[in-house]
Structure 1
Amino acid sequence: MAKSISRLIIIVLLAYAAWIVASPHVALRNMRQAAERNDAQAFSSYVDYPQLRESMKVQLQQKMHREAGAVGGFLGALIMNPLLDYLVTPEGMQTIMLEARLADKPRRGQDAKQEEAAARKKTHTSGSYDGWSRYVVEIKHDDGHSLSLVLQRHGLSEWKLSGIRLP
């Protein structure tokens, strides 16, 4: 009896550990599916908008400051802050997803499957844990462009997009 209880506990703990490890992948899959369905509400449930907005503001201000000096950084902040405040919201994401969906329509002479296959060949993704509560997905394109999506753990197994690391 005691052996069967300890085996059951071990099985439950192993299953839970597997879920903890797999949970960021599940969240990413659900985000992608919501984006493909153009379901902004479902997509938004996987985004921490205030944290994402702040992350992007800091990065863009630093980039503007490096490339254009203090005045450029100040002017960039005046322009970028309101733009990010609009874009990094559920409504802004809805607009971005709608525009992306319109842009993804197949061109003449090329069906959707061919275009999707070509896009997959050009994009490489990899993910890794960056500590216990952060998971980073690197997206690299064959043309040299890249960015990273940062997911932050909320609770034990819920993940939300909380940052985008720009190149």
Structure 2
Amino acid sequence: MFDSLSEKLHKKLKSTDKKTMIIAGAIGAALAVSGCIGAYYTPYLTVNSIKNAAENRNADALSQSINFPELKTNIKASIKDQVLKQIAEDSTKSPQATSELVEKAINPVVDKLVTPEGIERIMFDKIPEAKIDLTQLDKDLAKSNITMGYESFDRFVVHITDKVNRSKNVSLILKRDGLAWKLSAIDISKV
């Protein structure tokens, strides 16, 4: 009698263990899938937070989504390339001397502007010649084609192309920073 009761109890516990394991496995799988989906959409959320911070003129929130050292280096190189191309078309000066002069002129300006304080000065109109008119942001975005996506595991690019003048475009490049993403480069090479 006790043996049959013991066997029944053992079978009941064994079936409960299987059910518990199946439920725990299903919950674990659902959490893993949710985590993967969340990780995939993180750069899209970063782009959205950059857009919202700019529209709301929130320099602190915008600064959290920017890798300032990498962005400075990128902007300096991009501006230098653009200026040197323009000079090369018009000038007979030595390319090496011109390159050094351009670099000396660009570096201090970019160093002052591409900082959290510099972004704040630009956003709050403290530098009139660098003013960003955020009231026109929605209209400007409506006149543009925007595509975004992964270029690699740790590189996400937002391409913005003017619908009217296709030669006017810019790419915002976000790079993985741990689990987060940060704006690390702006490609204006085709502007």
| Distance in 2 between residues matched to 1:104 and 1:20, nearest whole Å | 30
Q: Which is worse superposed, 23-32 or 55-64? A: 55-64
| Distance in 2 between residues matched to 1:28 and 1:123, nearest whole Å | 16
In structure 2, what residue type is equivalent to 1:19?
G
1:78 equivalenced with 2:142 (yes/no):
no
In structure 1, what residue type is equivalent to 2:188?
L
Q: Which residue of 2 aligns with 1:119?
A: 140
For residues 82-93 of structure 1, the aligned pairs below 5 Å read 82-93=108-119
| Distance in 1 between residues matched to 2:138 and 2:110, nearest whole Å | 32
Displacement of 1:154 in angstroms is 1.1
Question: Relative contact order: is structure 1 or structure 2 higher (C-alpha 8 Å, sep ≥ 6)?
Answer: 1
Contact 2:60 2:116 in 1 (8 A): yes
Displacement of 1:117 in angstroms is 5.6
The TM-score normalised by the length of structure 1 is: 0.84
For structure 1, the 5+ residue unaligned runs are: 106-114
1:152 equivalenced with 2:178 (yes/no):
no
| Distance in 1 between residues matched to 2:137 and 2:111, nearest whole Å | 31
Q: Which residue of 2 aligns with 1:8?
A: 27
Q: Which residue of 2 aligns with 1:110?
A: none
Displacement of 1:72 in angstroms is 3.0
Q: Which residue of 1 aligns with 2:161?
A: 140
Contact 2:175 2:183 in 1 (8 A): yes
Displacement of 1:128 in angstroms is 1.3
Contact 2:54 2:134 in 1 (8 A): no
Tell me the SS of whatever aligns to 2:159: strand
Displacement of 1:10 in angstroms is 1.1
Contact 1:134 1:151 in 2 (8 A): yes
In structure 2, what residue type is equivalent to 1:83?
V
| Distance in 2 between residues matched to 1:82 and 1:116, nearest whole Å | 28
1:38 equivalenced with 2:70 (yes/no):
no
| Distance in 2 between residues matched to 1:118 and 1:37, nearest whole Å | 16
Contact 1:64 1:72 in 2 (8 A): no
Q: Which is worse superposed, 117-126 or 4-13? A: 117-126
In structure 2, what residue type is equivalent to 1:95?
R
Aligned length: 156
| Distance in 2 between residues matched to 1:58 and 1:117, nearest whole Å | 29
Residue by residue, what CA displacement relative to the aligned partner does 1:41-96 show, whole Å, maximum 9, x if unpaired? 11101101001001111222233333324233222111111110011111111122
Displacement of 1:104 in angstroms is 4.4
Tell me the SS of whatever aligns to 1:4: helix
The structure having more radius of gyration, on CA atoms, is 2
| Distance in 2 between residues matched to 1:116 and 1:26, nearest whole Å | 19
Q: How much is the aligned-residue C-alpha RMSD, in angstroms?
A: 1.9
